[in-house]
Structures are given as structure tokens and as C-alpha cells.
């Protein structure tokens, strides 16, 4: 496994653990702010990684690989690139939405009884 694949696998494991933590019940808006901030950071990094993968597949030689479905491996590479490129654009949109949510939550304060 390459360093990149290992790093992505570790991140996926952490996200899986975070998803499992969601069964414990609701969290406060302040805690949500922290979680959204971390997701925002992660989402802003995804487009760069996806772009790297698209560029890597663009350089790949389809004749050096076979498609076990019996179809053209070059076409499989092109289709994969297209899907990754679409994912890159959607990840950028996701990051923008998370940034807006994070900013909105950052304006919230907790009411205290003396307020």
C-alpha cells in the first residue's frame, strides 16, 4: 500500500469512527461548530486530492492494464476520470456549504440564566 493509500485509509477509519459516535445522541451547537469546522477543513482538501487522481489517470496507459469485464481499459480509465472530476467539483461545493454553516454557527453563543 502506498503512503497516499494508507493516509486515505486512516482518514476513512476516522470518519467511520465519527459516524459510529453519532448514535450517542444530539450534540450542542457549540460542539457542532467544532465538528463542522473539522469537516470543512477536510472537505477543502478533497478537491486537491481528487485532482491529483484525475491527473494520474490521465497519464495512465490503458494498454498496460486489462478490464476483467472484457471491455476497453482505456474507456474504463476515461469513465473513472470523469467521475473523479465530477466528485472534485461536488467536493468544492460541499466545502463551500460547510464553510457557510461553520460561519453561521460561529456567531452563536450560549444563553446563561443571567442573560
Mean local confidence (pLDDT), 108-113: 72
Range of the domain at 95: 29-106
Q: Is there a domain that residue 1 lies in? A: no
The pLDDT assigned to 94 comes to 96
Q: Is there a domain that residue 11 lies in? A: no
Q: Is there a domain that residue 112 lies in? A: no
Sign of torsion over alpha carbons 43, 44, 45, 51: positive
Q: Is there a domain that residue 71 lies in? A: yes
> Which whole-number Å values give the CA distances from 15 to 81, 84, 115, in the listed order?
24, 20, 37
Mean local confidence (pLDDT), 20-39: 91
Q: Is 19 helix (H, G, I), strand (E, B) or coil?
A: helix
Contact, 27 vs 107, CB < 8 A?
A: no
Q: Could you tell me the pTM of the whole model?
A: 0.78
Instruction: Please write the tens of the pLDDT for every residue from 33-66.
Output: 999 999 999 999 999 999 999 999 999 887 777 7
Report how many domains make up the chain: 1
Amino acid at each position: 500500500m502506498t503512503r497516499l493509500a494508507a493516509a486515505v485509509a486512516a482518514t476513512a477509519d476516522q470518519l467511520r469512527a465519527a459516524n459510529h459516535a453519532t448514535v450517542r445522541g444530539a450534540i450542542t451547537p457549540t460542539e457542532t461548530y467544532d465538528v463542522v469546522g473539522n469537516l470543512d477543513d477536510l472537505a477543502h482538501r478533497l478537491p486537491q486530492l481528487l485532482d491529483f487522481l484525475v491527473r494520474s489517470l490521465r497519464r495512465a496507459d490503458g494498454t498496460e492494464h486489462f478490464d476483467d469485464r472484457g471491455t476497453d481499459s482505456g474507456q474504463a480509465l476515461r469513465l473513472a476520470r470523469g467521475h473523479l472530476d465530477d466528485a472534485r467539483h461536488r467536493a468544492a461545493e460541499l466545502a463551500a456549504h460547510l464553510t457557510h454553516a461553520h460561519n453561521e454557527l460561529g456567531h452563536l453563543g450560549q444563553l446563561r440564566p443571567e442573560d
